[in-house]
Amino acid sequence: AQSVAQPEDQVNVAEGNPLTVKCTYSVSGNPYLFWYVQYPNRGLQFLLKYITGDNLVKGSYGFEAEFNKSQTSFHLKKPSALVSDSALYFCAVRVTSNTGKLIFGQGTTLQVKP
């Protein structure tokens, strides 16, 4: 069965410090992985995705994610956090079908304090 886990409900970092939001996955076949961000009362915004190739994927707003096949992880990172990065972050994996369905993790709240 395919699944995604975000082990932390909340991550707290100080502004200017690096941040990491963790994600691990379980899929059969090649993993197609996505990160989304959600601000309060808004829809999800696409940040980045891993399809193939370079294990370090760069995305919007200075975010990047590192794909690690051996650890089945796809952690989201940013070198220097901003207060405006405070939001709910979702990791997702594409299911192995042509329906385009995604399986989402439970989300991690990122709190960046000034």
Partner 1 sequence: SQTIHQWPATLVQPVGSPLSLECTVEGTSNPNLYWYRQAAGRGLQLLFYSVGIGQISSEVPQNLSASRPQDRQFILSSKKLLLSDSGFYLCAYTWGRRRTDTQYFGPGTRLTVL
Minimum distance of partner 1 from residue 85's CB (angstroms): 17
* N- to C-terminal Cα separation, the chain: 41
Q: How far is CA 44 from CA 28, 29, 87, 89, in A?
A: 26, 26, 11, 9
* Under rule CB under 8 A, residue 5 binds partner 1: no
Q: Check binding of 69 to partner 1 (CB under 8 A).
A: no
| 101 binding partner 1? (CB under 8 A) | yes
For residue 98, count CB atoms less than 10 angstroms from its CB and return exposed for 0-12, middle for 13-18, buried for 19 or more.
Answer: exposed
Q: Is 3 a binder of partner 1 (CB under 8 A)?
A: no
Q: Which amino acid is at 52?
A: T
Residue 91 CB, nearest approach to partner 1 (Å): 11
Binding mask 34-63 vs partner 1 (x if CB under 8 A, - otherwise)?
Answer: x-x---xxxxxxx--x-x------------
